[in-house]
Amino acid sequence: MNLVSFSIKTKGIHNFTRRLTTVFSRFGFSERRTQRALYTVIESLKPYQAMPTFFIPAVVLERHARLLAEIADHRAEVGIHGYVHNDYRTLSHSEQYKQTEKAISVFEEKHIPYRGFRNPYLGWTEASLEVFAGLGFTYDSNDAVIHDVIDLNQLSPLLLSGYEKSLELFQAIDCNSYTLRPYFAGEIVRIPTSIPDDEMLFDRLRFPDKEIGRIWSSIMQRVYELGGIYVLNLHPERAILCKHSLNDLLSFTLDQALPIWVTSLGDVAQWWKERSQFRLNFEPLTANRWQVEAICTSRSTLLARHVAIEDQPTTKWHGADFQVLSQRFIVSAQQCPCLGVSIQTSQDVEKFLLEQGYPFVRCSDQDAHNYTYFLDRPEGLGTTRKEQIQRKSALLNELEELETPLIYYGCWPKGYRAALSITGDIDSITIQDFFRRIIEV
């Protein structure tokens, strides 16, 4: 399927004609306009000591290598957005592999470092994950979490149908504490991305700049409550048009009680790998006292609730949680402040708890009362993607709501409550690029 038929299918003929007129106002025949847009995002993030993450198809990179080399040099992270701008769902495993390999060779030839992949149209498949792992990527950012911020009743039937087409195209999943976190699929760190994106809000639903800033801030608010990551996709072609919205969102992060980590996706992936090695050991002392040893790096966020830390400083965190500012401390509590997991509980539960930062001990039903909470899940966390998302979301929710003694690792480094990454897919840089997409697919 080429760009024209794809656009008509997903946007409708009416929107497609409208799209053509916007192209001429947003792109030029030279790189200048896009360059200005890229720097607009880069400059907006500077006060937050953060970099944006841009994804670009290799053929577009090849035509504009100097511009990309210039921003990839300490100004932005650059990831791969396909060899051409096509939907991997229409490709076989081996075609996906060949195209990704070809994209890598362009990035290497142009000396642009990369760590992540985002599929055009967020069109990933299980085969894509194998391809990414096989070719040494650290992360992908394709899982589309839908935030319920649009009052659908207000939309005209035409806009509503366009909106629904986008959700289907992006294989959207619901928003909760679990889906808003990165997770491992084998070696690949999967970082969710959020929708509606700028294209849906600005072009399809035609919200004004100011209103978009309000919507993005309300998404950030929700992500903060849930302690996840907000990955905003702001295509550079709309970066100048949405400049105020972006600044509103960024300044909103400063208004929260706890800090929000504004950072690039590559840093998030690196952090998630670092955090996956963290462990907690509990050694019983006298009755109802434990020596806790945290095996982690100095960036870890070590949290405690419903316990007394005897010998080390703590600081108030979110809800009932305190942050413990030491990696070795004595705790007093009614039970050992970690989970008990039954012998017959399936192995995937153990893996899940480790990834989510919850310490546990395998124990028999008779010993269950020694631990703060007992999990018996022989059925495991499901086989299909849908089942896994449901069960993992439910289990995480259950653990987050525990009102019993608990020591565990927070999601983000250094006491941050949530994370925000500003990303943007550079689908085209010039008008020529835009029209070449028609034949390049």
Per CB under 5 A, residues contacting Zn ion are 120, 425, 427
Structure tokens at 422: 């500003």
User: In whole angstroms, how close is the CB of 172 to Zn ion at the nearest point?
Assistant: 16
What would you report as the CA-atom Rg of the chain, rounded to the nearest whole angstrom? 23
Based on CB atoms, which residue is closest to Zn ion, 177 or 428? 428
Check residue 74 and give left, alpha or beta (phi > 0: left; psi -120 to 50: alpha).
Answer: left
Minimal distance, residue 433 CB to Zn ion, in Å: 12
Task: Say if residues 213 and 220 touch (Cβ distance below 8 Å).
Answer: no
Q: Which is nearer to Zn ion, 120 or 410 (CB)?
A: 120
Is the Cβ of residue 321 or residue 425 nearer to Zn ion in the bound state? Answer: 425
Which three-class secondary structure state does DSSP give residue 317?
coil
| 198 vs 425 by CB, closer to Zn ion | 425
Q: Residue 85 in contact with residue 436, Cβ under 8 Å?
A: no
Q: Rounded to the nearest whole angstrom, what is the least distance from the CB of residue 120 to Zn ion in the complex?
A: 4
DSSP conformation class of 204: I
CB nearer Zn ion, residue 56 or residue 411: 56
Q: Please return the burial class of 240, using the count of CB atoms within 10 Å of its CB with bins 0-12, 13-18 and 19+.
A: middle
Q: Which residue is nearest to Zn ion (CB)?
A: 425
Taking the complex as a whole, how short is the minimal distance between the CB of residue 229 and Zn ion, in angstroms?
20
Least distance (Å) from Zn ion to the CB of residue 102?
17
- Using the minimum distance from each CB to Zn ion, give the nearer residue, 307 or 429: 429
Q: Is residue 34 a contact partner of residue 402, using CB atoms and an 8 Å limit?
A: no
Given strand 144-146, what is the order of strands in its sheet?
Answer: 173-174, 144-146, 193-195
Identify which of residues 142 and 217 has a Cβ nearer to Zn ion in the complex: 142
Shortest spacing between CB 122 and Zn ion, in angstroms: 9
Please state, in angstroms and as integers, the Cα–Cα distance from residue 119 to each residue in 85, 201, 339, 381, following that order: 8, 20, 38, 27
CB of residue 85 vs Zn ion: minimum separation in angstroms?
6
Query: What minimum distance in Å lies between the beta carbon of 3 and Zn ion?
Result: 11
Per the listing, tokens 């952090």 go with: 271
Is the CB of 237 or the CB of 248 nearer to Zn ion? 237
Determine the Cα–Cα distance for residues 12 and 108; give it in Å rounded to an integer.
Answer: 38
Nearer to Zn ion, 234 or 304 (CB): 234
Minimum distance, C-beta of residue 211 to Zn ion, in the bound complex (Å): 24
Q: Toward Zn ion, which CB reaches closer, 120 or 359? A: 120
Residues 102 and 58: beta-carbon distance below 8 Å: yes
Q: Using the minimum distance from each CB to Zn ion, give the nearer residue, 197 or 425.
A: 425
CB of 425: closest distance to Zn ion in angstroms?
A: 4
Contact 406, 305 (CB under 8 A): yes
The per-residue DSSP string of 69-137 comes to HHHHTTT-EEEE--SSS--GGGS-HHHHHHHHHHHHHHHHHTT----EE--GGG---HHHHHHHHHTT-
In the block, residue with structure tokens 């006292």 = 289
Phi and psi of 285, rounded to 5°?
A: -105, -130
Task: Label the pairing between strands 229-233 and 418-425.
Answer: parallel
CB of 426 to Zn ion, least distance (A): 8
What number of other Cβ atoms are within 10 A of residue 264's Cβ? 23
Span between the terminal Cα atoms of the chain, in Å: 7
